[in-house]
C-alpha cells in the first residue's frame, strides 16, 4: 500500500516585481530666493561670469555654462572644485562662504570672479595667482 504523496501547492506570487526605479534626484533646488545662478559667458577675464561679483555670500550658487566650450570653476583657495561644466550644463549647487569668496576657471586662469556679501559689502580682497 502506498500513501498518496503530498502535493505541495506553491503559491506563485508572480507579480512581486518590486521595481524601485526612478526616484528623482534630490537636488536642493529651492528655486527662487536662496539660489543664485552665475552665467559663464566666455573667456573674458573678469567679465567671464555674469553677474560678477555675484551677491551670494551665504547662499547657494550654481554656474550655468552659456559658452561654447567647457569650463571648470574652482575657489581660489582650491577648497572647492565644481568640476568640468560642459556647454549648456549647470553645475551642482554649493553654499558660498558667508563672508564672500573669489574663484576662477581652472582651464582659463584669466577668468576670475567673486562673491560679494551684499550690494554694499564687496568680496574679500583677491590674493594669489588668480587675481
User: What does the binding site for Cu ion look like in residue numbers (CB under 5 A)?
Assistant: 71, 105, 107-108, 111
Task: Tell me if 116 sits within 8 A of 55, measured CB to CB.
Answer: yes
- Report, in Å, the least distance between residue 54 CB and Cu ion: 17
DSSP state of 90: B
Cβ distance to Cu ion smaller for residue 44 or 58: 44
- Report, in Å, the least distance between residue 56 CB and Cu ion: 19
Alpha carbon distance 57, 99 (integer Å) = 6
Cβ distance to Cu ion smaller for residue 56 or 111: 111
What residue has cell string 569650463? Answer: 71
Cβ distance to Cu ion smaller for residue 74 or 116: 74
- Report, in Å, the least distance between residue 63 CB and Cu ion: 10
Alpha carbon distance 91, 86 (integer Å) = 9
Amino acid at each position: 500500500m502506498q500513501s498518496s504523496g503530498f502535493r505541495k501547492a506553491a503559491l506563485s506570487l508572480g507579480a512581486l516585481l518590486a521595481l524601485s526605479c526612478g526616484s528623482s534626484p534630490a537636488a536642493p533646488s529651492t528655486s527662487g530666493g536662496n539660489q543664485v545662478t552665475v552665467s559663464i559667458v566666455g573667456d573674458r577675464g573678469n567679465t567671464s561670469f555674469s553677474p560678477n561679483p555675484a551677491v551670494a555670500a551665504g547662499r547657494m550658487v550654481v554656474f550655468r555654462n552659456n559658452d561654447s566650450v567647457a569650463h571648470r570653476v574652482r575657489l581660489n583657495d582650491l577648497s572647492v572644485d565644481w568640476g568640468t561644466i560642459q556647454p549648456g550644463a549647470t553645475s551642482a549647487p554649493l553654499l558660498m562662504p558667508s563672508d564672500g569668496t573669489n574663484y576662477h576657471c581652472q582651464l582659463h586662469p584669466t577668468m576670475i570672479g567673486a562673491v560679494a556679501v551684499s550690494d554694499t559689502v564687496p568680496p574679500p580682497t583677491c590674493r594669489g595667482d588668480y587675481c
